[in-house]
Structure 1
Amino acid sequence: MRTSLNNDGESTLLARLEQIEDGGFAEAEARFDGTPESVILHRDGAAVRAWLNVCPHAGRRLDWAPGKFLKSKDGLLVCAVHGASFELQRGQCVAGPCRGDCLRAVPVEVHDGAVVLAGQAPAT
């Protein structure tokens, strides 16, 4: 799933909560200062966390194919390129070449099942 959102006051749906498997990931596209960026969405029940889809080790995308992310048996997000593993609370790298670094968080909110950037109401 790839949708877009602008941070210039115009809101577009990133995802519907029910489109993200509980405990799973989805990808969306958001525009920051006019530049499109890939964003990882992770659902944990009714909450969603988000990060830029960029590994701090080498600046590469974490997905192995667009919108397809690896999750370890321990529940960590795994970079498909170098195997760095990230915990899902703060996006901190706990194993691999960038241990101690963090993914860049993207603040999101859920409003009536719509996932949007924090501070923006869903478009109606």
Structure 2
Amino acid sequence: MLYLCASHELPEGQSRGFTLTQLKLLVVRRAGQVYAYENRCPHRGIPLEWQADQFLDESGSLIQCATHGALFLIESGECVSGPCAGQELSLIPCREDDRGIWVDP
């Protein structure tokens, strides 16, 4: 497992991007749970954000591809709207403990 950040550095309802060597990640906290995905749109293979750490739609309830507007469920990574509907973001196993947030790429 690789350390990403302290728990307080990912507040409720927020997202953050990370780069681990060659792997770009996006991490979101929703309803106290942390979700990690590869930061790569299944439609074109490009990063999802248009600004640093900006992965969520205006409502904060879906992950959004800034280039094509595709929308993904935070809990599963499934695309529910846009050019890649039915596809999914690549889930990265993660866990949180008293030391912070960890991923297993």
Deviant stretches of 4+, over 6 Å: none
Q: Deviations over 1:63-101 (max 9, x none)?
A: 102322232427111100000000111000000000000
Larger displacement relative to structure 2 (51-60 or 15-24): 15-24
Aligned residues: 105
Q: Deviations over 1:29-66 (max 9, x none)?
A: 224xxxx2110001124421100000000001001023
TM-score (structure 2 length as normaliser): 0.88
Unpaired segments ≥5 residues, structure 1 = 1-6, 119-124
Task: Give the CA RMSD over aligned residues.
Answer: 1.9
Alignment of 1:97-116 (within 5 A): 97-116=83-102
Give percent identity, aligned residues only: 30
From the CA coordinates, give the structure whose radius of gyration is larger. 1
Instruction: State the distance in 1 between where 2:53 and 2:84 align.
Output: 22
Q: Which gives a bigger RCO, structure 1 or 2 (Cα 8 Å, sep 6+)?
A: 2
Instruction: State the distance in 1 between where 2:17 and 2:53 align.
Output: 5
Instruction: State the distance in 1 between where 2:32 and 2:59 align.
Output: 22
Residue 20 of structure 2 is matched in structure 1 by: 30
Unpaired segments ≥5 residues, structure 2 = none
TM-score (structure 1 length as normaliser): 0.76
**Match of residue 69, structure 1, among 52, 55, 76:** 55
Instruction: State the distance in 2 between where 1:50 and 1:99 align.
Output: 20
- Per the alignment, in what secondary structure is the counterpart of residue 62 of structure 1? coil
Instruction: State the distance in 2 between where 1:78 and 1:88 align.
Output: 10
